[in-house]
Structure 1
Amino acid sequence: MKHAVLLGAIGMASAVMLPVTAMATQATRAPFGQTADGRKVEIVTLTNDRGVQARVMSYGASLQSLLVPDRNGKLADIVLGYDNLQGYLARRQYAGATVGRYANRIAHGKFTLDGKTYSLTGSLNGGAKGLDQQVWSVVEVKHQGSTASVTLQYVSPDGDQGYLGTLTVTATYTLGDDNQLKIVYVATTDKPTIVNLSNHTYWNLAGEGAGSVKDQVLTIPGNAITAVDAHLNPTGDIVPVAGTPYDFRSGRLIGGHGYDMNWVSSRKAVESRMVARVMDPHSGRVMSLWSTEPGLQFCSGNVLDGTPVGKDHHVYRKGDAFVLEPQLFPDTPNHPDFGSARLAPGETYRNTIVYRFATDSGRNVKS
């Protein structure tokens, strides 16, 4: 999706050796600054017994960092972002954020529901001030057995950004001792509305300051895409990927083509299955992405422009990250053949996203 974003420079991400002794699974919370109008932001750190660490920020219910090991056991942060809150406030860039109420695009910022047309404050990721720009409440932080988790909540009022109904949203991040990070989005409403939530993390499996991801190997099992017009709005056509640059079914280098497209994983929400797999040949890190959603938006960092300075003074440049967003198809409310984004009172919206991390020693690895 086109938007202004943080960008980054070439420079190897810092790495540390995994501890020799086992660590206890834990979850801790701390202040992380405040917004210009005085709203306090928190950050919750989830750590598993292998030293893998996820930091979740209440601003935008965002994944601020994720430390995972390479094939030699060295930890590195594989999430692009900023060291402090001010970096996230400086410009809207969706870094690690929960996006919605409707992730991706609503063409021309308009949709019709139950015979009435609604106008939004913007066509991308929920409007002019979506969920990514809100301060969420941290409602639960816990560690139990082999998992650590945090649950955040935001109540979007009726009419917010042009959407109807009061929407109550929770985002639960859970880190397991199996090096699995799970995000579960749940939403309910008091009036019929539309909803489509996802996460917009910028990933680089070599490390957030390691430069281009063009040599990382991507697999997307989806055999079709939703075609778009010159403004990236879906036309309604579903086009096979066979024989095109969009065919990642057998795995191929991300390269430098500047992808920003929705892949068809299924024609409807189904049981969780693998919708993407990425492997970095240099570090050996492998991430497999599992989801219940029918679509997967893949962006290859072509909008990163090298202007903001991110973590550890890294500058993120074009192609320095990729984004994978499991979700409903973009502009579904305006294309009935795409399915339905409708949520009614008494119903529960749910999107479960699972990131599984492993390493590749140079031989094939199951993940």
Structure 2
Amino acid sequence: MPIVEDSFGTFLDEETKTSVPVRRFTLKNSKNVSVQIINYGATITTINIPDKNGTIADINLGFDDMKGYTLSGNPYFGAVVGRVANRIKNAEFSIKGQTYKVTANRGQNHLHGGLKGFDKKIWSANVDGPKVTFSYVSKDGEEGYPGDLLVNATYSLNEDNELSLEMTATCTKPTPVNLTNHAYFNLAGHDQGASEFYNHEIKLNADYYTPAVETIPTGEIAAVKGTAFDLQSPKVIKDVFPLTPENGYDNNFCVIQTKAKNNLFFVGRAAHSKSGRVMEVFTDQPGVQFYTANFIPEDNSLPGKGGCFYKKHGGFCLETQNYPNAVNTENFPDSVLLPGQIYKHTALYKFSVDK
């Protein structure tokens, strides 16, 4: 079906002191699945999916308008984050003997691109048939990164209920790049909270993970077997949460790199038995951050769509990625992009119903 474009309000650009229109793009198929994305942060705002009875619900946490997305407490709902997603230790790295300091915005560390990462930028947008491509140029020195970086993020939705996100980037100087989408899912419905999230069944296709101290990987690549991180067979969240650090996950898992679909690796599967909704994730990246919304406040301080309030453990993220702090860790996959190279990253979310 043709992509429909409309308005999603305006964004005040603090640098130019001008009000910039925000555009929304709606992708639909004939199976009653629809996805909405805005050009602020190339952000997914809505994912409508039928359940086993045909009842449609929005399974993507987010906000009704731009006021929500510009809140200081917005936990990156649905956005493309970068130039480097996840953490960079001590907010610095070296390339070819030169040290770069990037913005420290999570204690002494750098998180998700800094204070004004890609999630807080207006991207240009272009519709081409069933695809919409968002583009952004990150200038040399932005948040401390070297070189200009041209980023493209292309979304499409097909008749097999597959939402595809293809991200590419090119640079003018050697620079680390690690993009991801930070969508939060709750297959029971975005407003169903922790009580229904705990009933999700999760399977991750990973036999190793990267242990971390205060969210920074130690450099070790450890086996999941015999630990709370062993999600190789499906586990119901409420059964494994008591075993996890801080009663939740915020960890990078090393995806088993066996090609499964469209030349992509199978990342994992989430299922909610009551609704029957199922989501499978595929990627070409070596890792995935499984995050269970541990840092969303437990009080009613984060208002979401439709008058609801989001709280701790109200949803989960499967952020396909390179390993956190890879630029500073010799035995992790290389994250430095060189001029003349093309960074490529595909994430595929396949939705279905188990009746």
Instruction: Using structure 1 for the length normalisation, give the TM-score.
Output: 0.88
Q: Aligned-pair distance for 1:51?
A: 2.0
Rounded Cα–Cα distance in structure 1 between residues aligned with 2:224 and 2:31: 39
Distance in 2, matches of 1:58 and 1:314, equals: 24
1:298 alignment counterpart: 290
Looking at structure 1, the residues matched to 69 and 258 of structure 2 have their Cα atoms a distance apart, in angstroms, of: 34
Query: 1:88 Cα shift?
Result: 0.5
Identity of aligned residues (%): 39
Q: How far apart, in 1, do the equivalents of 2:284 and 2:68 lie? A: 32
Residue 102 (str. 1) matches residue 88 (str. 2): no
| Structure 1 residue 219 corresponds to structure 2 residue 203 | yes
Q: For 1:152-231, what aligned pairs fall within 5 Å after superposition?
A: 152-212=134-194, 213-229=197-213, 231=214
* Secondary structure of the structure 2 residue equivalent to 1:90: coil
- Tell me if the contact between 2:204 and 2:231 (Cα under 8 Å) persists in the aligned partners: yes
**TM-fit CA distance, 1:47:** 0.8
Aligned length: 331
Letter matched to residue 216 of structure 1: H
Q: How far is 1:50 from its partner? A: 1.7
Q: State the distance in 1 between where 2:237 and 2:166 align.
A: 27
Aligned runs of 1:67-106 on 2, under 5 Å?
67-91=48-72, 92-106=74-88
3-state SS of the aligned residue for 2:310?
coil
Aligned-residue offset at 1:149:
1.8
Cα distance in 2, alignment partners of residues 282 and 83 from structure 1:
26
CA contact (8 A) 1:205 1:279 kept: yes
| Cα shift readout 1:304-325 (whole Å, capped 9, x = no counterpart) | 1141210000111111100110
Secondary structure of the residue aligned to 1:126 is coil
- Displaced runs of 4+ in structure 1, greater than 4 A? 266-271
1:141 corresponds to which residue? 127
After superposing the two structures, state which structure 1 stretch, 103-112 or 258-267, moved more.
258-267
Q: Which residue does the alignment assign to 1:129?
A: 116
- Note if contact 1:267-1:339 (Cα within 8 Å) is conserved in structure 2: no
The CA deviation string for residues 204-228 of structure 1, in whole angstroms up to 9 with x for no partner, is 0000011221110000010111011
Counterparts of 1:187 and 1:278 in 2: how far apart (Å)? 29
| Equivalence for 2:341 | 347
Cα distance in 2 between the residues matched to 1:266 and 1:233: 22
Selected match of 1:265 from 255, 258, 276: 255
Is the CA contact (8 Å cut-off) linking 2:255 and 2:265 kept in structure 1? no
Give 3-state SS (helix, strand or coil) of 1:161's partner: helix
Structure 2 distance, partners of 1:266, 1:280, is 24
The higher relative CO (CA closer than 8 Å, separation ≥ 6) is in 1
Residue 299 and residue 161 in structure 1: after superposition, are their counterparts in 2 closer, same or farther (change >3 A)?
same
| Letter in structure 1 aligned against 2:348 | V
Residues of 1 paired with 2:144 and 2:236: CA distance? 40
The answer to whether the 8 A contact 2:173-2:338 is kept is yes
- Aligned mate of 1:40, from 5, 17, 21: 21
**Which residue in the other structure is 2:244 paired with?**
none
| TM-score of the aligned structures, taking structure 2 as reference length | 0.91
Deviation at 1:26, TM superposition (A): 2.0
Structure 1 contact 218–253 (Cα < 8 Å) conserved: yes
* Residues 174-229 of structure 1, C-alpha deviations (whole Å, 9 max, x = no match): 00011110000000001111100000001000000112211100000101110111
> Which segments of 5 or more consecutive residues in structure 2 lack a partner in the other structure?
14-18, 105-109, 242-246
